[in-house]
Structure formats: C-alpha cells, structure tokens
Structure 1
Amino acid sequence: MIKRLIPSFILVTLYYFNGITNAQIINKTSENINKIKTDSSSSLIEIQKEVYPYRFPIWGQKVYDRGYSLPLPIGFSAGYVNSSMGMHITDLDVGFKPVNEFQQDENGQPILDKDGNPKKAPYFGKNLPQETVDNIVKGPILDQLKNDVTLATATGMNYRMDMYILPFMNVYGMVSDVKCTTAIGLGDISTETFDALAFGGGVTMAYGFKGWFGTVDVNYSTTETDLLESNVIVSTYSVRVGKRIPLNHGKQSIAFYVGAMNRNFVSDEPSPGYIHLSSVLPGDKIPDEIPLGPINDGIENKIAEVYDGLPMPIKRKIEKELGRVPDGSQLNNFLNETVSKEFKDRINNTAVEYSIKKELIQAWTVQCGFSLEINKHFAIRGEYGIADNNKFLMTGINYRFGIKK
C-alpha cells in the first residue's frame, strides 16, 4: 500500500519557458534611422524623423531614434512541454483518519446505537497506534526513499502572454494544464498519474547587438492539485546567449543559443496533503469478496459448532438476516459477505493525511535551442535541457502584434 501512496504525494512542477526569441529582442542595427531628404530647389537639407507607431514599449521612440530595431511589443505563445525532475524524499509523515466520523444510512442520516448516540464509523488504522505507523514509515521505508531516485514528469500545453513594458524588459504571465506522473522504486517501481494546473509570471531582460543576443529570465510558478492542501511554488532563473543568422535576404532568420537554468522549490517546508485510501490501492479496486476458506464438511461443522455456542440474541439476529435457522454452508456465505462488506466499508471510509519533504537532486541544467523567425509576426522555437536526473523539452509557436498609437 505504501508503494502506491508515495507516488501520490510527489508533485512535479512544470518549468515555463522564456518565449522571447532572437527576432523578438531589441537589436542595435545602425547609428541612426532618420531619413535625410534634400530639396533640389534650394540648398536646405531636411531631416525626416521616422515615427515609432506602437504604444509600447515606453521610450520606444527614443531607442528607435538611436538605431535600434524593436520587436512587436505584444506576444502570445502556445507550446508543448515535457519536463522531468529527479528528487529525493527527505522526510515523510503518514496518518489515517475516517472520511465520515459516524456511520450513515442510505439517506445520509447517522445510525444510532441503543442509547441513541451516533455509531462510530469503522476505518482502516482505527486500532493501529500512530507510533507503529511512524516506526514503519520513518524506519526502513524512509531510509530507502532517501537513497532511491523519485522521478517526477509533467507533460502539457503551456500558454503565455507577454508585453515589452520597456525596450529591454519583457513581462509575462502563463498557465498550463498538465498531466503529471511520479515513479518511485520500493522494490518494484510504482507510478501514480494525476492532473494539475500550473500558473505563474516573470520578467525577461533582453538585448541584441549586430546579430548576437542575450537574455536573463526570472519567473515564479505555482502548481495546484487536489493531492496537496497547499500549492507548490518554484523559482526559475535562466540565462541564454546566441547568434542570429539571416535567411532569404534578411526576410527570415534562424538563431541558435545555449544557456543555463536553475529551478528549485521556494520553500523548504514539507507539503501537507490528503488522499482517499481507496484511490491508491493496487489497481484502484477493492475485492468484492474475502473468502474465509474452502467449503467442506469440516469447516461447515466447525462453523455450526461456533454458531451453537453463540448467545441467543446474536443467533436471533443472524436468523433474522437469513430468514431461517442456518446450516454450516449458509453461515459460511453469510460470514464471507459480512467480512467483505466491513472490509470495503473500512477502506472507503479511510483517508490518508501526509506531509512530505523533497529535494531536487540537480537544480541546474544546460539549455540549448533554436528559433526560426518566419516573419515579424510568427516564430517557431524548440529547446532542450539536460542534467543528471533532470530533462526538459519544449517546442512551440509565438505570434506577435502591436497596438498602434
């Protein structure tokens, strides 16, 4: 059971890629872009000023006058991301509690005992001391978890909106709908898959000079899932440098770049969570029947002997349930059904409370990628990052536009 619970506790955080491409960075191309106009009828020379047509970025006209080419200020990106991170579990607490404290009938009303008080509902671990659970979880299980690599993987679509507020500064927000999987080895490898919603924001500082460019990016993202009571916040810092190569007489371009990225959990505090025990049982199934043993004359005779020795009130209750005085075979079937029902009721009424602390094995990755500028509006980008127990793959398309003055 623990082998199924552990993967449910781990939460992977999706890294958000910096959607700025080489063609979408302010670039020093010339000393002055103002046009010089001469009048043939006189000796006067008129300097004709080029007007920057968009509302953003702030100071766009000033840097435009100094010979900088500016990208369209607003962009929307959609991309597919596959990210995996290796981590160690450094601390783990597990406890059991009932989903419903009292027994309920089919109408959801509490079932009362003979004194008129609500009956306590059975649940798995009711009679299991917490000290025993701690000795198991914090003993051999946690010792092995500290040495094993837990691999957390997230795949999903990442949507990003950005804007150049200043010529060298781009701010953005993003959201992702991701499918997460965690795998851990406790003997046989066990996996758990769940959905999560991730969102965040960041800022990119960017500059280009004669085809060379560089970016520094900082963002914070949080991942939300039903498995955890609080969101997991991750910080990401990255730097990239690259070279732009013109294509098709400058109408298009392709760029290649390399860089480094650091991502880590913002808080060292353990992540608390809550999950139903029935959702983490092997195969997510509870057996319909727990047989007490094969039916034979010996067992039937023993069951009949036990029945004969029961107090009369209990005999009457059994006879009422069965509709008549039972024989050994009927008693065996009755006990099977009773035990199976109680087992299922206990499992369905059990919740697992947990607190888990984890650390990334490798926070830094080496990044490399490309950007293909189709025109000033569209660009396609791909990026790959790798380190020990840490991989990242991204591909997507970016569309840019501007709001005119």
Structure 2
Amino acid sequence: MRTTCFLMAVFLFFLHGNSIAQYTADKIVGQKPKNVSLADSLKHVTYPYMLPIWGQKVINKGFDLPFPVGMSVQYIWQQSDIIIDNLQVGFNHGPMRNCDDIIRFDKATATTNGANIRPDFWVFPFLNVYGILAKSKNTTAINAGLWIPDSSNSWKKIGNINTKADFDATTAGFGLTPTFGIGGFFMALDMNFTWSDIKELDKPAYIFIFGPRIGKNVKFKNEQSLALWAGGFRVHMNSGTSGSLSIGDLFPTGQWQQKIDSGYIKVANGQQQVNAWWSSLSPRDQQNPGNIAKYNTANAALAKAGQLLEGASEAVNTVGNSTVQYSLDKRPKDQWNFLIGGQYQINKHLQIRAEYGFLSSRKQFIGGLQYRFGF
C-alpha cells in the first residue's frame, strides 16, 4: 500500500548556490579627491597578469579590477517543496504501472546540506567563469495516500504514506557570470549548470540555476569593502527520474505486510461496492455511456491498486535481492524565489559572503570564504 515511499529517496533537489567573485570590475567615477586620484593612477598602471583578457585596456580606462583567479569554499542549506507526477512502479524488473490516479502526493519536501569548492577565473573584465565540485547529504519527506473509487465513483483515501529518506550526492558542473559595475553599483547575471550523481538513479540529475542580482559596493579604508545585493533565484531541472532500489532497504517485512493486508481488504470492499452499484442499475442505465465510463474507470483503478499491493507483497516476502523499479517526473513547486546577500572584503585577497533566499516554497542559505590571487 505504501510502495512509493522508496521513490522519494532518489529525488534530488539540491541547489549549489551561486557566488559573486569580488563582485565585479568597477568603473571609478565621481569628483571626490580619492576617486579622482585612483582613476588617474589607473590610467598609468602596467597590468601584470594574463587574465582577464583586455585587462590592461580596462585598467587604463579607469576600471578597478579584482584579482583574476579565486578559490572559494561554500556551505549550502536548502529546503524546497516539489511536485511529483507521472509515477510508475514495477517490481523485480516486471511490468511498470502508472500510478498517478491511485497514488496522490499531498506534499513532498526536499532538504539539502552540502559543501562545494569553486575555482573561478575572470576571463574577460565583464565575464567570470567557474567550476563546481560538491558533496551533499539530502533528505526527502513525503505525505501521500493510496486512493480508490467507491460505489458512487467518488474517490477516497484508504492509506497514508508518510516517510523520509536520506541519500548522498556528488555534483560537478560549471558556471558563467556576466557582470558590470560603475561607481560602486553593479549588476550580475549568474548562471550555472550541474550534474549530480546519486547511486539510486539511472543517470545523473541535471539542474540549471539562474540568479540575477543588483547591488552596491561600499569601500572602506585599507582595501576593505562591503557589497550588498538583492535579486532572484530560478531553478530548472530535468523532469524525468528513474532507477532501481533494493526491497530489503525499504520494507521491514512485518510492518509492511500488515499495511499491505489492510490495503487488500479495503480494495476488496471497494470492488464489492462498485459491483453492487453496477448491479443496482437498470439495463437501460447500464447502457448509458457515462455509467459505463465510471464503471470501467473504477474497475481499472481497483485492479491497478490490487496489482500494486500484490507486487509489493511478493517483493517484501521474497528472499534474496528483490528490487523495485520506478520512474517519475518532478519539478520545483516555485521556480523563482527572492534573495538578499552580502560580501565583506577583508582585503583584495580574502572575502567572506552570505546569502539567504525566501518568499516562495523554497528557502536557502549560502555562506562561504573566498581567496583571490593574480595569474
């Protein structure tokens, strides 16, 4: 009856965050003596590094550049509601059955705790490119139910699915951040592409993140500064997920067999009610296309529920390496959320940053430390 709880263990909704590398190249403007002095001095500086391309030209035009290469370490926490549909289940590599009509998800929530390492390079003064290597521990909690039709062809829940599953993921990817700054104000359009390997999945999970931001950098003495920003966070992921899991890791035999037996009884009662309703109809009413459609739909759903329970029972009680196969489509409940963040620059080599996302069904926190150097 609760055969789908294992499916959630394979769902990854794991956001890798996006960072701003010493926020951007900044065009020095204004008539303050320190700004005029800095802009004039930059016009005569010999740029000593290979990156970014055109570094010498933009320095001489009055842009202050960050060090071209950085390495950062970030901690990420994220929690998000997800939508699941097109659920199919099979046992021991047998036939897969679509269970959308009889298994309905009330709520599914994915939580991630992880860390990543990110090398980055200013390839051009307006474009930062970075790589991502991440490890995470993930939890997926679901509330769902098994539904069947009754004699009036109304659907009722005959069992609850409340479960939580834990799994690990390894992620790799890359990102691009086009950005521009003038007078301390800046805009960044961060985007990254990642693939996460989870042993329960047939293929890596793909995620695309887009994070536009606008902000202001306030400079202090001795190279210290504080950048503050606000923006959005959009997530797109490949919708299809499929894989196989061991039954022994999912179904404690005694506990689940009792629930399966209870499900059998409720399905049998439902079938009796549907048959009684059909028998009570006059021959003329039994020819009514609407009644025929209701009767066939109810029988198909009850047969599917019975087959699902039968497959679960056989799998739970099979000695040896019994497995369950699955496929499903998933998506975030909300693609966008709002975010605010800040980065404190201790000096041009070392920065600390933090960011928080909210105002949707997704919440996230990112904190990190970055070191920059010349190349």
1:218 is displaced (CA, Å) by: 1.6
Partner Cα distance (2:249, 2:15) in 1 = 24
1:379 is displaced (CA, Å) by: 0.4
Aligned length: 295
Match of 2:45 among 45, 50, 53: 50
2:223 pairs with 1:251 = yes
What does residue 173 of structure 2 align with? 200
- Could you list the runs of 4 or more consecutive aligned residues of structure 1 that deviate by over 3 angstroms after TM superposition? 30-36, 342-345
CA contact (8 A) 2:184 2:217 kept: yes
2:104 pairs with 1:134 = no
Distance of aligned partners of 1:344 and 1:362 in 2 relative to their CA distance in 1, 3 Å threshold: closer
1:250 is displaced (CA, Å) by: 5.1
What does residue 232 of structure 2 align with? 260
Q: Which amino acid aligns with 1:56?
A: L
Partner Cα distance (1:226, 1:352) in 2 = 15
Match of 1:385 among 357, 363, 366: 357
Matches of residues 4-403 of structure 1 in structure 2 within 5 Å?
Answer: 4-22=5-23, 25-30=24-29, 33=39, 49-97=44-92, 130=95, 134=97, 137-141=99-103, 144-145=104-105, 148-186=106-144, 187=160, 189-247=162-220, 249=221, 251-265=223-237, 267-268=238-239, 270-282=240-252, 346-403=318-375
TM-score (norm 1): 0.68
Distance of aligned partners of 1:244 and 1:347 in 2 relative to their CA distance in 1, 3 Å threshold: farther
Q: Who wins on radius of gyration, i.e. which is larger?
A: 1
CA contact (8 A) 1:15 1:83 kept: no
Distance of aligned partners of 1:35 and 1:73 in 2 relative to their CA distance in 1, 3 Å threshold: closer
Partner Cα distance (1:343, 1:94) in 2 = 12
1:33 is displaced (CA, Å) by: 4.5
CA contact (8 A) 2:82 2:331 kept: yes
Partner Cα distance (1:52, 1:227) in 2 = 50
Partner Cα distance (1:246, 1:347) in 2 = 68
Q: Deviations over 1:230-252 (max 9, x none)?
A: 111111111111111223x3531
TM-score (norm 2): 0.73
1:378 is displaced (CA, Å) by: 0.4
Distance of aligned partners of 1:34 and 1:212 in 2 relative to their CA distance in 1, 3 Å threshold: closer
Unaligned runs of 5+ in 1: 37-47, 99-125, 291-341
1:2 is displaced (CA, Å) by: 1.7
Q: Deviations over 1:364-399 (max 9, x none)?
A: 010101110000000000000113221111001010
Partner Cα distance (1:157, 1:189) in 2 = 29
Could you say what secondary structure the match of 2:58 adopts?
Answer: helix
Partner Cα distance (1:345, 1:91) in 2 = 27
User: How well do the aligned residues superpose, as a CA RMSD in angstroms?
Assistant: 2.5
1:88 is displaced (CA, Å) by: 1.1
What does residue 149 of structure 2 align with? none
Q: Deviations over 1:122-167 (max 9, x none)?
A: xxxx8xxx5xx837x33321xx22xx22111111111101000111
Unaligned runs of 5+ in 2: 30-35, 145-159, 258-313
Partner Cα distance (1:388, 1:215) in 2 = 22
Distance of aligned partners of 1:163 and 1:223 in 2 relative to their CA distance in 1, 3 Å threshold: same
1:16 is displaced (CA, Å) by: 2.7
Distance of aligned partners of 1:253 and 1:347 in 2 relative to their CA distance in 1, 3 Å threshold: farther
Distance of aligned partners of 1:51 and 1:281 in 2 relative to their CA distance in 1, 3 Å threshold: same
Partner Cα distance (2:141, 2:41) in 1 = 63
Higher strand share: 2
- Percent sequence identity is 30
Residues 236-245 or 3-12, more deviating: 3-12
Q: Which amino acid aligns with 1:365?
A: N
Could you say what secondary structure the match of 1:6 adopts?
Answer: helix
